[in-house]
Chains A and B, each alone.
Chain A
């Protein structure tokens, strides 16, 4: 999957910048970026697949809502994914995704940070050859 993510420094919090050849790839890297902040993903085994669907008010909100949906699944149910396959609908305001990972096991998994939420702060989504998404996380 072509693309990448990087972490931004930001007083008090953390930002993720994800890129991809498609919006879907960028969203997948965005999610991977967030979970790399939450936990050391090296020890996460791809045991289970969770399906996620959501609709948002616009493309930018979709990026934020996507992360918050995954965050909820992790915080509430303990699901820790590290691989993602995302399909975005025609309007780019809805997505369906498959997320591979496993449920948290504190014996094996190293949890790094607690994330409160993905925010709209300095939210950026652009398409210039490749897709680029920036989201700031409240930690």
Chain B
């Protein structure tokens, strides 16, 4: 497959897969990348998936691929697709992912790197102890089914109601940390049994909690609005999702939706892309269950953020409020949301699937919290644990070209197996420490799999996103310490 022959250069870091590429494509595919990033993208089977997504009934605009695109299940990771809510538009669980509402939360502090360094090992050890992570880890909470149902309905506000955070946190969380239309009944029993005990845990794989130092400020005004004032300021980034509850919701619904798709006459080139009309009983049930799982993830990040604050209190001997540990923002990057967008000059309700992609609304948008309305919605873009992450804001052009969406992170380039092979004999933890980063994980494997060599450089992804008008970088954040499963 020679993609260089097929892709059309649209300019502005946009490449089109023409709808003539594959019979059945209803719209073109569009990939946001520069020539350099495109070289690695065409090595990966993701472009075929971008073309496959274009088959979805009711899809509008284009099948979009963010700059950090790589292959996934059905949808590629970094895939965005909007389908009409009225009419034949479908919803596809593959367009959300197994880890429903995997997302990122950023806390700021008044601490500086100089203040934290002497206590860093102690801080990371305390966090590693207090935030349950790793394989087989149970949570700190014991919830009844009734309580789990409350979490599924209330999301982050459930945690606030139980003293696990501050009401202000909800103001700076996407959807207020609680999306309407969740239904615990639609979730069913299996996800609650599997994932219920995991509330308040980080998980494993690419999930992490990172203590960071602001490395560069690129937009002083926007940074200030978000409480980021100086280089050397310490922040905390939390990356995790809905744990086994979300995974099971996706598995359970794929099992139903996959054969149902055929009954609705929906023919797709990939079984994992299975979809049903949004208005169908299966579609409505999935949406309600997905929303419930999303709420579970917000409650999860809320609990973890709260315990993170308590860990800092323990180490620094001051309350988290005195330490200024307020939340900057919380975004999801695996979700399907009903939004209104302007399509062909008309305000239209669409179901926007963002799979490994982040909402990035511009200044003035009513869904952006008031305190950020002048600067735009904060966007959190984690990189790998050896390099850096970015804080960015939404910009108006994204509403025109990507349904207000942008990238979500670095994107893998090497498999877990290969990363471990390449790093055999390396003491990954020691190598990170030599670079000033204290990493704590439950196994060597878990660090090796997540090493920098397994990922794209998020700076490249951010640069392309900025050039394409998908988001504007505000600050670069460098890791000081990281805990992983």
Complex: chain A residue closest to B412, CB-CB: A12
Which residues does chain A contribute within 8 Å of B415, judged by CB atoms? Answer: 9-13
Say yes or no: A123 contacts B271, CB within 8 Å: yes
Say yes or no: A119 contacts B73, CB within 8 Å: yes
- In the complex, what's the smallest C-beta–C-beta distance from B203 to chain A, in angstroms? 7
Q: Mark B60-102, 1 if CB is under 8 A from A, else 0.
A: 0000000000111110010000000000000000000011000
A139 in the interface, Cβ–Cβ < 8 Å?
yes
Q: Bound state CA distance, A113 and B44, in angstroms?
A: 24
Q: Bound state CA distance, A12 and B76, in angstroms?
A: 12
B35 in the interface, Cβ–Cβ < 8 Å?
no
Complex: chain B residue closest to A115, CB-CB: B247
Q: Bound state CA distance, A89 and B412, in angstroms?
A: 41
Say yes or no: B99 contacts A116, CB within 8 Å: yes
- In the complex, what's the smallest C-beta–C-beta distance from B270 to chain A, in angstroms? 8
Q: Bound state CA distance, A113 and B255, in angstroms?
A: 23
B19 in the interface, Cβ–Cβ < 8 Å?
no
Say yes or no: A116 contacts B418, CB within 8 Å: no
Which residues does chain A contribute within 8 Å of B363, judged by CB atoms? Answer: none
Q: Bound state CA distance, A61 and B485, in angstroms?
A: 31
Q: Bound state CA distance, A57 and B260, in angstroms?
A: 10
Which residues does chain A contribute within 8 Å of B180, judged by CB atoms? Answer: none
Which residues does chain B contribute within 8 Å of A106, judged by CB atoms? Answer: 136
B414 in the interface, Cβ–Cβ < 8 Å?
yes
Find residues 1-20 in chain A having any chain B CB closer than 8 Å to their own CB.
Answer: 7, 9-14
Say yes or no: A9 contacts B203, CB within 8 Å: no
Q: How many A-B residue pairs have CB under 8 A?
A: 84
Say yes or no: B73 contacts A121, CB within 8 Å: yes
Which residues does chain A contribute within 8 Å of B414, judged by CB atoms? Answer: 11
B248 in the interface, Cβ–Cβ < 8 Å?
yes
- Return the contact of A61 from the options B193, B194, B258, B417 (Cβ within 8 A): B258
Complex: chain B residue closest to A78, CB-CB: B136
- Return the contact of A12 from the options B204, B272, B416 (Cβ within 8 A): B416
Say yes or no: A14 contacts B247, CB within 8 Å: no
Say yes or no: B416 contacts A120, CB within 8 Å: no
- Return the contact of B98 from the options A14, A75, A112, A117 (Cβ within 8 A): A117
B181 in the interface, Cβ–Cβ < 8 Å?
no
Instruction: Pick the most buried of A12, A13, A77, A117: most chain B CB atoms within 10 A of its CB.
Output: A12
B259 in the interface, Cβ–Cβ < 8 Å?
yes
Say yes or no: B135 contacts A111, CB within 8 Å: yes
Which residues does chain B contribute within 8 Å of A57, judged by CB atoms? Answer: 258-259
- Return the contact of B135 from the options A13, A114, A119 (Cβ within 8 A): A114
Q: Bound state CA distance, A68 and B416, in angstroms?
A: 21
With known contacts A72-B194, A114-B485, A14–B204 Cβ distance under 8 A: no
Say yes or no: B417 contacts A111, CB within 8 Å: no
B190 in the interface, Cβ–Cβ < 8 Å?
yes
- In the complex, what's the smallest C-beta–C-beta distance from B93 to chain A, in angstroms? 11
Which residues does chain A contribute within 8 Å of B342, judged by CB atoms? Answer: none
- In the complex, what's the smallest C-beta–C-beta distance from A115 to chain B, in angstroms? 9
A25 in the interface, Cβ–Cβ < 8 Å?
no
B254 in the interface, Cβ–Cβ < 8 Å?
yes
With known contacts A11-B44, A121-B272, A139-B416, A68–B251 Cβ distance under 8 A: yes
A65 in the interface, Cβ–Cβ < 8 Å?
yes
Which residues does chain B contribute within 8 Å of A50, judged by CB atoms? Answer: none
B445 in the interface, Cβ–Cβ < 8 Å?
yes
B364 in the interface, Cβ–Cβ < 8 Å?
no
Which residues does chain B contribute within 8 Å of A111, judged by CB atoms? Answer: 135-136
- In the complex, what's the smallest C-beta–C-beta distance from A103 to chain B, in angstroms? 12
Find residues 252-275 in chain B having any chain A CB closer than 8 Å to their own CB.
Answer: 254-255, 258-259, 270-272, 274
A138 in the interface, Cβ–Cβ < 8 Å?
yes
Which residues does chain B contribute within 8 Å of A76, judged by CB atoms? Answer: 190, 193-194, 244
Which residues does chain A contribute within 8 Å of B413, judged by CB atoms? Answer: 11
- In the complex, what's the smallest C-beta–C-beta distance from B259 to chain A, in angstroms? 4
Q: Mark B409-439, 1 if CB is under 8 A from A, else 0.
A: 0001111111000000000000000000000
With known contacts A7-B417, A13-B415, A61-B258, A138–B98 Cβ distance under 8 A: yes
Complex: chain B residue closest to A109, CB-CB: B136
- In the complex, what's the smallest C-beta–C-beta distance from A35 to chain B, in angstroms? 14
B391 in the interface, Cβ–Cβ < 8 Å?
no
B250 in the interface, Cβ–Cβ < 8 Å?
yes
Instruction: Pick the most buried of B193, B413, B415: most chain A CB atoms within 10 A of its CB.
Output: B415
Cβ contacts A to B, 22 pairs, < 8 Å: A7-B417, A9-B418, A11-B413, A11-B414, A12-B70, A12-B72, A12-B77, A12-B415, A14-B416, A14-B417, A61-B255, A61-B259, A68-B251, A68-B255, A72-B190, A75-B248, A76-B194, A77-B193, A104-B136, A114-B203, A138-B73, A139-B416
- Shortest Cβ-Cβ A-B pairs, 8 listed: A120-B271, A111-B135, A57-B259, A116-B247, A120-B272, A76-B194, A76-B193, A116-B98
Where the two chains meet, the residues of A that have a C-beta atom closer than 8 Å to any C-beta of B are 7, 9-14, 57, 60-61, 65, 68, 72, 75-77, 104, 106, 111-114, 116-117, 119-121, 123, 138-139
